[in-house]
Amino acid sequence: MIIMKSDATREQIDHVVREIEKYGLRADVSMGDFRTVIGLIGDERRIPFDHFSVLPGVKEARMVETPYKLISREYAKLAGEGGDRRTIRVGDIEIGGNEPVFMAGPCAVESKAQLFTIAEGVKKAGAHILRGGIFKPRTSVHSFQGLGAAGEDEAIEALEWMRQAGDHFEMPIVTEIRGEGQVDLVAKYVDIIQIGARNMYDQDLLIKVAQKKKPILYKRHFGAGIEEFLSFAEYMVAEDNKDIILCERGVLPLGKGKSYTRYTLDLAAVPVIQKETYLPVIIDPSHAAGRRDLVFNLSCAGIAVGACGLLVEVHHNPEEALVDSQQQITPAELTDLIATCRRIRKAIGVRKNGG
């Protein structure tokens, strides 16, 4: 990391960047209110820090060992960007601000009528952002794979329904990209690109999605430690895209015998991650629980531990849903959930230091 003097000139900053590139690394230039900090992307052991510390305009040059330095609070603080939380603006919505943001919609888009019915319901319930899966990651090849699996025309049609529903009900939209081949198409339609839990480790996908320069909803893999999750998030930030919303959606349950929940919601991950980084964190109670009777409780708990928002699966007729029918709640249930979560946030407030 290279910390520039507060009066460093543009030329001096550019010179340091060129020097970094000479050693085969890339630079992330963070211009804060007080000073510029330059993060190094690549193997820092190749950098002669003594040489860098005497370059014109440089205040300090030092090695940073953490694998996720560009998203660390320390990095943002040094640049004088406050180091609190990044707020990601999507249309009129602010993710990471004082109010919790609710993303809701069906697990999978099934038809235009289904999507519009649910979009209307979640909007009325108070949701801000519409979700809907078109390319579904499924464990079994024999189950419904989402409308996108039927072919490009079907994928485009479903993406157009999402766009129309989002515009009609004034909600930005989010959908998942499952593979690199879908990135260019999906990025044309959506406001936020989702990277699902199963793809958390796909470096090439992360880089390609990040290069679209759109906000990304990035889900933790169910077997990933927090350090791994943050380290892989760093791949996207290294592509100069800091609009990453991290999502905790449950880790694998422990022990033998019947599992009472689909996954185990790692609630502590929320304040832990928010202390480590400035990126906003949300909770997905639906996939964590895997059963609709727990979604309300887990949502309340998520907001209570400081999540910036929730991603909730909602269906007007959950029993009939083609995917994840056991965990989707109704728009009426979402109304109660959102109202209660808002009361909880009001009672607790937003803790600036990651709470």
Residues that bind ligand PEP (CB under 6 A): 107, 133, 137, 176, 196-198, 219, 249, 284, 287
- Give the residue carrying structure tokens 């979640």: 122
Question: For residue 293, what are its two tokens?
Answer: 């009777």
- Which partner in Mn ion, ligand PEP, none is near 221 (CB below 5 to 8 A by kind)? none
Least distance to Mn ion from the beta carbon of 5, Å? 51
Least distance to Mn ion from the beta carbon of 71, Å? 27
- Which partner in ligand PEP, Mn ion, none is near 137 (CB below 5 to 8 A by kind)? ligand PEP
- Which partner in Mn ion, ligand PEP, none is near 176 (CB below 5 to 8 A by kind)? ligand PEP
Q: Which of 4, 101, 107, 129 binds Mn ion (CB under 5 A)?
A: 107
Nearer Cβ to Mn ion (182/327): 327
Nearer Cβ to ligand PEP (69/287): 287
DSSP run (H or E) holding 228: helix 226-237
Torsion sign (Cα): 67, 73, 76, 80: negative
- Which partner in Mn ion, ligand PEP, none is near 196 (CB below 5 to 8 A by kind)? ligand PEP
Least distance to ligand PEP from the beta carbon of 159, Å? 15
Nearer Cβ to Mn ion (61/251): 251
**156 vs 161: CA distance, rounded Å:** 9
| Cβ proximity of 318 and 107 under 8 Å | no
DSSP run (H or E) holding 155: helix 152-168
The distance from CA 292 to its chain's CA centroid, rounded to whole angstroms, is 23
User: Which of 331, 279, 297 shows the shortest CA–CA distance to 124?
Assistant: 331
Least distance to ligand PEP from the beta carbon of 349, Å? 28
| Cβ proximity of 281 and 251 under 8 Å | no
| Cβ proximity of 235 and 71 under 8 Å | no
| Cβ proximity of 241 and 213 under 8 Å | yes
Least distance to ligand PEP from the beta carbon of 219, Å? 4
Residue 209 CA: distances (Å) to CA of 139, 177, 182: 23, 9, 10
- Which partner in Mn ion, ligand PEP, none is near 248 (CB below 5 to 8 A by kind)? none
**111 vs 113: CA distance, rounded Å:** 5
Least distance to ligand PEP from the beta carbon of 146, Å? 9
| Cβ proximity of 280 and 246 under 8 Å | yes
Least distance to Mn ion from the beta carbon of 145, Å? 13
Binding range to Mn ion, per CB under 5 A, among 31-39, 100-108, 193-201, 296-304: 100-108
Question: For residue 214, what are its two tokens?
Answer: 């759109």
Site for Mn ion in 301-330 (CB under 5 A): 324
- Which partner in ligand PEP, Mn ion, none is near 283 (CB below 5 to 8 A by kind)? none
- Which partner in ligand PEP, Mn ion, none is near 81 (CB below 5 to 8 A by kind)? none
